[in-house]
Chain A
C-alpha cells in the first residue's frame, strides 16, 4: 500500500468535516440556539487535525490503485465519525463514545441513536444528524470526486471503494462527471421531497430535515417518535414513496433522463425490488389488520414500514415491536436484503440476492445433471464466473460480520431477538431493531465497548466490508 498517498488523501478528505459544520453553524445562528460557538470550535479543531496531514504528508507516488482507494475509504469513514462527533461532545450533549456512535450512525445512514430525548435537541444538532445522513448516503468520497479533479485513476478508486453493489459501473466516461450526475439527481430528488413535505403541512425546517434523512435512507428525525408524531396519512404516504424511490439504482433515473426507457427498465433487480416490496406490504397488511383497525390503515402502516426497512431508512410510523411474529420475521429478512445496488440504501443488495438464487439453482441442477453447462445471465447479459464467486464469498463474510455483532450484543446483555435483529440492523444500516432496540427505543443503554464495535459494524456495512477489513490486515500495509 502507498501509505503516504493514503494518509495525505485521508487528510484532504477530512476537510469535508469543517465544511459539514458550516451549514450547521448557519442553522445555529438562524435559530439562535446557543450552539454557534460549539460549531466554530468544531471547525477549528477539525481543521487543526486535517490541515497539517493534508499539507505536510507528501505522497511518494500519485498512482492510486484499488487497494489504496479501499484503505482511504475505510480510514476516512472512521476519522470522519471521530471528527464529526466533536460538536455533540463540546456542547456536552453526550460523551465521546456516544457521540461517535451517533455520527457513525449518521454517516452510514443507519439512524440508530443513543439520544434518549430527541425532541429537546437544538435545531443545529438535529440538522447535523440529518445532514450526515445526506452526505453519507451518496458518499463523501463520491462528493469529492465530483468537485475535485482526479488524476491517475484516483477518483475511480475512491468512488469504487465507496459505491454500493457487487461491481462498480459508471454511467459516464469520467468519474468526476459521473459523480456530478449522481449528486445532481440526488439533490433534485431531495428538493422534490422537501417541497412535497412542505405541501403536506410540515414546516420548512422539518421538511428539510426529513428530506435529508430520507434521501440518505438514514432515519434520524427531530421527533421523539419519528414520523408517528405527525399522525398524518399524507406525510406517511409521501415519505413511504420517497423511501422506496431512494432504494432504486440511480442508473435507472439516469436512463430515464437520457430517454433510454428500454434499457432503464431492462433491470431484473428493479422488478425483484418492486415485487418483494409489494408482496411484503400485502402480507404484513393482512397480518396486522386486526391490530390497527381495518385493512386500509394496516396497508398504510405496512407500506411505510416495508419502505422504511427495505430502503434501510428506519423511520417509524408505528411500533413494529408490537406486531405479530410473521410480520417481524418478514421485516428481519427485508433488513438483511436491503435495496438495489447503486442506491443510497444499505443491506446485502438485491442484485446479490438475485444472483445467489440463480447460482443456487444452477448448482442444484448440476447435482442431477453434472455435465450440464449453464451461463448465468442478468438483464440478458452473461455474468462473469469470478463475479459470482465474489458474491458468494461476500455473502459469507456479510453473515460472519453479522454473527460478530450478534455475539457482541449477546455478551452485552441482549436477548436472542435483540442480538440478532440489532446486529442485522446495524450491519445493514437500518437503525431500529426489536424489543429494547425497537423503533421507539434507543441504543443508549448498551455498554461503551459494544457501542464502538457496533459503530465499526455500521461503517463496515456501509462500505461493503472490504474497505474496513483491509485496515486490519497487516500485509495490506506493507510497502508495495
Chain B
C-alpha cells in the first residue's frame, strides 16, 4: 500500500512509524528538514516541501498513492492538502480536523470536499475519557462496535471472581445473566488467547468482555466490580478536549465543573457549554481544588496543554480524591513510570489520534474489496477485532452456528441485527444484513467466508 503522510509532528511521526512496521511504502512530507532528519532510522521517503502545493504533492508521487494522511498543524492546510491530493489522484484521504466550528459542518467537509475520513483527536480523546467514566472497571482497550451498540472492555482478573479456574463452557452454563456477555479475548503475560470452551481463566489475566452496555454493567455489578458511572466530574484546563468532554458528559447528564485559568477562554467556554460550571482559576492550586470539591468528586480529569501541570495536579489528586483520576500526558514513553507513581489512567491524545487514523487506514486497506466495516488491533496488535457486514447470498446464512465450521484461531463475538445485540450461542444463526464482530489472531482477513464455513 502506498501511503503519503503530510506533516511530521508528533502524530504524523507516530503514524509513520506504525505504518512502516506494517510494511507499507511510506512517503513523508514536511516543511522543515529537522523532523525529517529525526526519521533517519525509518525506512520512508522523506520529502521537504509544502504539502499544500501541487509541486510537492507530485514530487511525493501522490498520483499513485492509495492513501494520503494530512496531519499538519492547521485544519485549513489539512483540508486543502486533501482536496489537492484528490485532484492529483490520491484514492483515499484522511485529514486531521480539530476546530469545533469545522466539526459542525462535517458532512459538508466529507461530501463536498471529498475528504474520506476526518479524524478529530480532541473529540476522540473526549469520547475515550467519557467511556472510561461510564465503565470505570475497565482498565483500557474500550472499543465500540456497530455504531456504539456493542462495547468491548478489558478487565483485570483479581482472582476472587467466580469464573476463575473453571473452563469457560462451565461458567456460562450455570449463570443466567452471563448468557448476555462473552469473553472474546484473554491476555496472559505477553501471550494472547482467543478463548474456547475449554479455556480456563487464571488470576492475573486480562479478559476482554463484549456485550451491549446494559448487559455489561449488570454483569459486572453482579461480579462485585465497581460499575457505578461517574455523576460528578471536575475538569482542569479549558482545552479543546475539555470542551468536547464537557459537552459529551453534559449530554448524558453528568454534572461537570471546568477550571480554566484564562479569563477570556473561560468566558468563551461558559458561552459554549450551557450546563457546565466554568471557574476561572489556577487548576494546580491545591486550596482551590479542595474548595471546589476535589475530595468527593467522582472523577478528576486534567486536560491542560502542559503535561507537567497535568501530572502535578493529577498526583496531588490521587492523594486526596476518592474518585477516579485521569491525566492527559502526550509523552507516551513515560506511562510506565507514571503508573508506578499511582497514576494509571493516563490518556494520550497523540496515541488516540494515531489509533483512529490507523483504524481508518486499516479498514480502508481491508475493506477495499470486501465486507470489512472496521478493524481494531487489540492486545498489542496480536489480535484483531473485525466487524463484517453479512452479504446477501453467503452460504452460511440461516444455519445454526453449532453446525458451521468456525476457524480455530477465530471467534464469533457478537452478532448485531438491527438494533438488537445477540451474544451468539450454538443455536443462533447469521442473517443477511447482520453486523458480525469476529475476534481473530489471523491477519489479513477480508471476508467472513474465511472464518465461517458451511
- Mark A residues whose CB is within 8 Å of B: 63-66, 150, 152-153, 155-157, 170-177, 263, 384
- Chain A to chain B contacts (Cβ below 8 Å), 26 pairs: A63-B41, A66-B40, A150-B43, A153-B40, A153-B41, A153-B43, A155-B43, A156-B40, A156-B42, A156-B43, A157-B40, A157-B41, A170-B45, A171-B45, A172-B45, A173-B26, A173-B27, A173-B43, A173-B44, A173-B45, A174-B25, A174-B43, A175-B43, A176-B43, A263-B59, A384-B33
Q: Note all chain B residues with C-beta closer than 8 A to A174.
A: 25, 43
- Option from B25, B33, B40, B59 in Cβ contact (under 8 Å) with A177: B25
User: What is the distance, in angstroms, from A71's C-beta to the closest C-beta of chain B?
Assistant: 15
Q: Note all chain B residues with C-beta closer than 8 A to A153.
A: 40-43
The B33-62 residues at the A interface (CB cut-off 8 A) are 33, 40-45, 59
For B46, give the chain A residue with the smallest CB separation. A170
Question: Which 9 A-B pairs give the minimum distances between C-beta atoms?
Answer: A153-B41, A173-B25, A173-B45, A170-B45, A173-B27, A175-B43, A173-B26, A156-B43, A174-B25
- Mark B residues whose CB is within 8 Å of A: 2, 25-27, 33, 40-45, 59
Q: Note all chain B residues with C-beta closer than 8 A to A170.
A: 45
Q: Note all chain B residues with C-beta closer than 8 A to A152.
A: 41
User: What is the distance, in angstroms, from B13's C-beta to the closest C-beta of chain A?
Assistant: 14
Q: Note all chain A residues with C-beta closer than 8 A to B27.
A: 173
A153 to B42 CA separation, bound complex (whole angstroms): 5
The listed residue with most B CB atoms (<10 A of its CB), out of A157, A173, A384, is A173
Q: Note all chain B residues with C-beta closer than 8 A to A171.
A: 45
For B41, give the chain A residue with the smallest CB separation. A153
Q: Note all chain B residues with C-beta closer than 8 A to A173.
A: 2, 25-27, 43-45
A174 to B22 CA separation, bound complex (whole angstroms): 12
For B2, give the chain A residue with the smallest CB separation. A173
A176 to B25 CA separation, bound complex (whole angstroms): 11
A177 to B20 CA separation, bound complex (whole angstroms): 14
User: What is the distance, in angstroms, from B331's C-beta to the closest C-beta of chain A?
Assistant: 20
Q: Note all chain A residues with C-beta closer than 8 A to B41.
A: 63-66, 152-153, 156-157
For B24, give the chain A residue with the smallest CB separation. A173
A263 to B61 CA separation, bound complex (whole angstroms): 12
For B26, give the chain A residue with the smallest CB separation. A173
For A263, give the chain B residue with the smallest CB separation. B59
Other CB < 8 Å A-B pairs besides A155-B43, A157-B40, A170-B45, 5 of them? A63-B41, A65-B40, A173-B2, A173-B45, A263-B59
A263 to B42 CA separation, bound complex (whole angstroms): 26
A153 to B40 CA separation, bound complex (whole angstroms): 8
The listed residue with most B CB atoms (<10 A of its CB), out of A155, A170, A171, is A170
Q: Note all chain A residues with C-beta closer than 8 A to B42.
A: 153, 156
For A387, give the chain B residue with the smallest CB separation. B33
For A150, give the chain B residue with the smallest CB separation. B43
Q: Note all chain A residues with C-beta closer than 8 A to B40.
A: 65-66, 153, 156-157
A384 to B48 CA separation, bound complex (whole angstroms): 11
A131 to B272 CA separation, bound complex (whole angstroms): 74
User: What is the distance, in angstroms, from B69's C-beta to the closest C-beta of chain A?
Assistant: 14
A150 to B41 CA separation, bound complex (whole angstroms): 11
Q: Note all chain A residues with C-beta closer than 8 A to B33.
A: 384
The listed residue with most A CB atoms (<10 A of its CB), out of B26, B41, B42, B59, is B41
Q: Note all chain A residues with C-beta closer than 8 A to B25.
A: 172-174, 177
A76 to B49 CA separation, bound complex (whole angstroms): 36
For A175, give the chain B residue with the smallest CB separation. B43
User: What is the distance, in angstroms, from B82's C-beta to the closest C-beta of chain A?
Assistant: 20
User: What is the distance, in angstroms, from A61's C-beta to the closest C-beta of chain B?
Assistant: 12
A450 to B43 CA separation, bound complex (whole angstroms): 41
User: What is the distance, in angstroms, from A59's C-beta to the closest C-beta of chain B?
Assistant: 15
A150 to B43 CA separation, bound complex (whole angstroms): 9
User: What is the distance, in angstroms, from A207's C-beta to the closest C-beta of chain B?
Assistant: 37
A171 to B59 CA separation, bound complex (whole angstroms): 10
Q: Note all chain B residues with C-beta closer than 8 A to A175.
A: 43
A170 to B61 CA separation, bound complex (whole angstroms): 13
A63 to B33 CA separation, bound complex (whole angstroms): 22
Q: Note all chain A residues with C-beta closer than 8 A to B45.
A: 170-173
The listed residue with most A CB atoms (<10 A of its CB), out of B26, B40, B43, is B43
Q: Note all chain A residues with C-beta closer than 8 A to B59.
A: 263
A64 to B40 CA separation, bound complex (whole angstroms): 10
User: What is the distance, in angstroms, from B390's C-beta to the closest C-beta of chain A?
Assistant: 37
A155 to B20 CA separation, bound complex (whole angstroms): 13
A64 to B42 CA separation, bound complex (whole angstroms): 10
A453 to B245 CA separation, bound complex (whole angstroms): 70
Q: Note all chain B residues with C-beta closer than 8 A to A177.
A: 25
For A145, give the chain B residue with the smallest CB separation. B43
A177 to B43 CA separation, bound complex (whole angstroms): 11
A25 to B26 CA separation, bound complex (whole angstroms): 42
User: What is the distance, in angstroms, from A265's C-beta to the closest C-beta of chain B?
Assistant: 15
Q: Note all chain B residues with C-beta closer than 8 A to A155.
A: 43
A175 to B43 CA separation, bound complex (whole angstroms): 6
